[in-house]
Amino acid sequence: MTTTTTDDDHVAGVPTAIPDDTGAAETAQRAKRHVTRVAFVAALGGLLYGYDTGVISGTLIEIGKEFSINSGVQELITASILVGAILGAFLTGPVSARIGRRRAILIIAGVFALGVLFAALSPSPLFLILSRLFLGLAVGGSTQTIPTYIAEIAPGPRRGSLVTVFNCAIGVGILAAALVGVTLNGAVSWRFMIGVAVVPAIVLLLGMLRLPESPRWFVAQDRIGPARRVLRWLRPDDRTAEDELDEIRELDDAEPHGGAGQWAQLRKPWVRPALIAGLIVAAFTQLTGLEMMIYYTPTILTTAGFPHVYSLWANVGVGVVYLVMTFVGSRMVDRIGRRRLTLVMLPGAAVSIGLFGALFAANGGKLSPVVTIVLILAFMFFQAGGIQVVGWLVGSEMYPLRIRAAATSLHAMVLWGADLLVTSTALSLTGWIGLGGTMLLYAALNIVAWILVFRRVPETKGKSLEQIEKSLRNGTFLPHRTRSEG
């Protein structure tokens, strides 16, 4: 016995006939495998993001030698991908709203593939800068679309662990880039080190062809049949799928179709608490200093007395800690909660980086390399296992369906803008107030982040996307807020 569908209900990636005569346990396991496969394939975009942004640190010296360029041009080559990421985050929102999350990711995969090939074949520094700018469109687009796509596919109790597969993939990409930089530098051309990323880009493209569209996007387009098909494929039984579909439709009907565009709707008062909460997390995932450590650890360690070769290997250690703690955090986020995990880990990050700054300043700029690396890795431990885990997660789940594309675009733009700010000012700050003063500043920003998260970011653990949206509409979204106060 099978459940069939009409042509109007056909959905890419979902079979036209789904067996309904299997046992409940087998059906539930099958649905669980479907959801997991969707998350892991889509998360390849995170691996590409991590590798493409990180590989430049291991190739820049060889690029500089081949093109005979100064440090200013090298900075442009490094930063161009971040500028592209901001543009990509802005441009992908309207695209994913119009054509769907799945098709947007297919385009992103194509841009990833073309971008790394253009960069690897660059005949001049200007062409390389433009290629990395183009590649950045895919980096920013992936962070806008992929977490949202996974969140809209995932069941509420597993949403945190599934969305943070994207974070883990970023960690894999960063670590792979660090290993490539330290082991292949000088052994192969920098062009190969950059161009090899075309392989996972093609795998992402082919994998997405076999996955379905988000059921929530289908509902927003008034395509209820395809939405039902996808939910029945992803959920353990038809009753669960129908209940979720009814909840999605109820909230979709509550918001009039048409009227002001998504960007204009971001100004609505009832949306504002989610926007403030999400953008706080987006900004402070970068402003608290983690990306500065990833980009400049070799420079910091050389300043602290490490030989250059050990600094490169220490950078690999930073990548390992980032990946391990991102994985641990992703396993804990659905148990502990997003808000609680962030509040528990931020004080440790503040103490670690603050102690580094204080000791460095008190010792006149001379600090034991061993103490330095211990404090840096401790900082990475608390940062990567806390706020970094929830940065993209809260952006994928806090915003209402009707404005989700625009809101997630803004979320990604703020995050990448903060990343660009940190990247472009870290060395200047070090020159102005010293390495110790810079670390103390980042410690203070970790404290500010804790205060803002405590006051403005609610817990979303275990709630469906529709329950989160209902809390916004009835005024109980903020932490410590009751329905009567709303």
Report the pLDDT value the prediction gives residue 482, as an integer from 0 to 100.
Answer: 43
**Shared-domain flag, residues 296 and 199:** no
**Radius of gyration of the chain from Cα atoms?**
23
**Shared-domain flag, residues 168 and 278:** no
**Shared-domain flag, residues 198 and 273:** no
Backbone angles phi, psi at 19, to 5 degrees: -60, 135
Asked whether 438 and 357 are in contact (CB, 8 A), the reply is yes
Q: Which two tokens stand for residue 433?
A: 């107030």
Q: Quickly list H helices, 306-386.
A: 308-336, 338-362, 369-384
The residue with tokens 């901001």 is: 86
**Shared-domain flag, residues 318 and 440:** yes
Nearest-angstrom CA–CA distance, 241 and 464 = 13
Query: DSSP character for 10?
Result: -
Per residue in 427-459, pLDDT tens?
Answer: 778 888 888 898 999 999 999 999 999 999 999
**Shared-domain flag, residues 174 and 295:** no
Domain presence at residue 252: no
Calculate the alpha carbon distances from 394 to 29, 74, 163, 334, 388 in Å.
27, 34, 10, 12, 11
What residues does 188 pair with on adjacent strands? 185
Domain presence at residue 247: no
**Shared-domain flag, residues 205 and 275:** no
Q: Which residues contact 165 (CB under 8 A, 6 or more apart)?
A: 39, 40, 43, 46, 150, 330
Asked whether 171 and 319 are in contact (CB, 8 A), the reply is yes
Report the pLDDT value the prediction gives residue 19, as an integer from 0 to 100.
Answer: 56
The residue with tokens 């926007």 is: 275
Report the pLDDT value the prediction gives residue 16, as an integer from 0 to 100.
Answer: 65
Domain limit, last residue, from 171, 189, 211: 211
Domain presence at residue 230: no
**Shared-domain flag, residues 280 and 199:** no
Report the pLDDT value the prediction gives residue 17, as an integer from 0 to 100.
Answer: 57
**Burial bucket for residue 454 (CB in 10 Å: 0-12, 13-18, 19+):** middle
**Shared-domain flag, residues 375 and 275:** yes
Q: Domain with 447 in it: what CATH number?
A: 1.20.1250.20
**Shared-domain flag, residues 207 and 303:** no
DSSP letter string, 188-220: B-HHHHHHTTHHHHHHHHHHHTTSPPPHHHHHH
Domain presence at residue 143: yes
**Shared-domain flag, residues 188 and 269:** no
pTM: 0.87
Report the pLDDT value the prediction gives residue 221, as an integer from 0 to 100.
Answer: 92
Query: How many structural domains compose the chain?
Result: 2
Report the pLDDT value the prediction gives residue 373, as an integer from 0 to 100.
Answer: 85
Report the pLDDT value the prediction gives residue 7, as an integer from 0 to 100.
Answer: 41
DSSP letter string, 238-257: HHHHHHHHHHHHHHHHHS-S
**Shared-domain flag, residues 288 and 199:** no
Domain presence at residue 113: yes
Q: Within the chain, which residues score under 50 in pLDDT?
A: 1-7, 482-486
Domain presence at residue 253: no
Return the SS3 of 136: helix
Domain presence at residue 148: yes
**Shared-domain flag, residues 265 and 144:** no
Report the pLDDT value the prediction gives residue 58, as an integer from 0 to 100.
Answer: 76
Backbone angles phi, psi at 188, to 5 degrees: -130, 165
Domain presence at residue 484: no
Nearest-angstrom CA–CA distance, 68 and 307 = 25
> In one letter, which amino acid is 278?
G
Domain that holds residue 185: 26-211
Return the SS3 of 17: strand
